[in-house]
Amino acid sequence: MATRTASSPDTSAHLLEVFKALANPVRLQVLQWLRDPEANFPVHEGIADPHEVGVCVSHIQGRLGLAQSTVSSYMAALERAGLVVSTRVGKWTHYRRDEERIAQFTAELGDVL
C-alpha cells in the first residue's frame, strides 16, 4: 500500500512561490518568451553570449511596454521563484530561464498534484 505523504514545508513553500510568480499574466508571458529567445527578442550584439546569459531586460521591457520599474520587480519575482537567473554584464542585465529549477518544480508538482 503506497500511502501518499504530504510534501515537506520547503517543497510547499517553493511551490507556493512559483505559483505566485506565475499567477500573473505578464510574468507567465515572459517565461514563455524566454523558451525561445531568438524568436522573441533581438540579439544584443557583442554584449555577451546570449546562450549563456539570455535576454537583456531592456528588450523584455521594450516588448512588454510596461514601466522599467515594473519589469525589474517582475524579473526579480521570477528569479526569487527560481525560474530565471540574472547575469549582469556592465550596465546590462540579462535573464535566462533556469531549466534545472523549472524541472525541479515540475517534479515537485508531480509529487503534490
Partner DNA sequence: GCGATGAATCGAAGAGTATCGATATGATAT
Partner DNA sequence: ATATCATATCGATACTCTTCGATTCATCGC
37: which 3 cell numbers?
A: 529567445
4 binds, among its own copies, DNA, none (CB under 5 to 8 A by kind): its own copies
In the list 30, 31, 56, 81, the residue contacting DNA (rule: CB under 7 A) is 56
- C-alpha to C-alpha distance for 88 and 95, rounded to whole angstroms: 9
- 64 lies in the binding site for its own copies (CB under 8 A): no
> Among positive and negative, which fits the CA dihedral 105, 110, 30, 28?
negative
In the list 48, 66, 89, 102, the residue contacting its own copies (rule: CB under 8 A) is 102
- 78 lies in the binding site for DNA (CB under 7 A): no
Residues in touch with its own copies (CB under 8 A): 3-4, 6-7, 12, 15-16, 19-20, 22-23, 25, 28-29, 31-33, 35-36, 39, 102, 105-106, 109-110, 112-113
